[in-house]
Amino acid sequence: MYLQSHILITNRNQGLENIKNKTYSFLKELSGEEADRTLEIVIENEPSIGIKHIKPMHEWNSKKSSSLRIGLIYNAHLLTHQAQNAIVKLVEEPNNNTFIALITNSKSNLLETIISRCKIHVFEDDFQENNTYNAVEDFLKAIYTEQKNLVYDYAQDRKNLEQFLDSLLEYFSIKNSETSTSKYNQNMVELLGEWSRANSSSVNTKLIAQSILLHLGNYE
């Protein structure tokens, strides 16, 4: 059985075991079959996942399996660019009966060469169980003055701005998965990726705040 690789988007509060259970349940819904948990491989490392960390997955994938199995990269946003380039072929053409899942809360940190070869699925319950989803909706509905005060407040600290951008990305990723034909949601996901990269590259936070308000502000 051939299975396309997936990027599974969850929030930052989900532990590994919880994510594994969700992934197995998702795969059963997708394929109609139970995966063999004894055949799984999990790749994780902090603060980054390099080429040496993903080497075991290449070796694991090269071995054929008659049973359905899962290869999971936990916190895939920690993959270095070199490691991501090294797994392009793996995610594009996994072995038969092999499901490759990249778990992340920040898809914007993944290369387009990876994203374009995967299907995207958002674990919506992970976001709606906390206040992130509702908080973003409240921000989007607020009057411009309130939005401006909030955005510039976040922009005073780069880490706070990063968390705010992540919340927006989570929200629009969910919306994009619900209505994949919506160009607006797709564009917002792309813009948020650009803003996140700009923030990581030490671009002036006030300039980022201005861009956020330009695209999301409710002008009177």
Per-residue pLDDT tens, the chain, 220 aa: give them: 889 999 898 876 678 999 999 999 999 999 999 999 999 999 999 899 999 999 999 999 999 999 999 999 999 989 999 999 999 999 999 999 999 999 988 777 888 899 889 988 878 666 555 566 778 888 999 999 999 999 999 999 998 898 899 888 878 877 776 655 568 888 888 899 899 889 988 999 999 999 999 999 987 5
Q: Which residues pair with 99 in a beta bridge?
A: 70
Work out the angle between the directed axes of helices 144-154 and 158-178 (0-180°, nearest 10). Answer: 130
For the chain, domain boundaries? 6-128, 132-216
CATH architecture of 6-128: 3-Layer(aba) Sandwich (3.40)
pLDDT in the model for residue 151: 94
CA dist., res. 132 & res. 10, Å (int):
12
pTM for this model (two decimals): 0.65
d(CA 150, CA 92): 41
Q: Where are the alpha helices (DSSP H) in 51-182?
A: 51-62, 81-86, 88-92, 112-115, 124-128, 132-141, 144-154, 158-178
* Helix-then-strand count for the chain, H and E: 11, 5
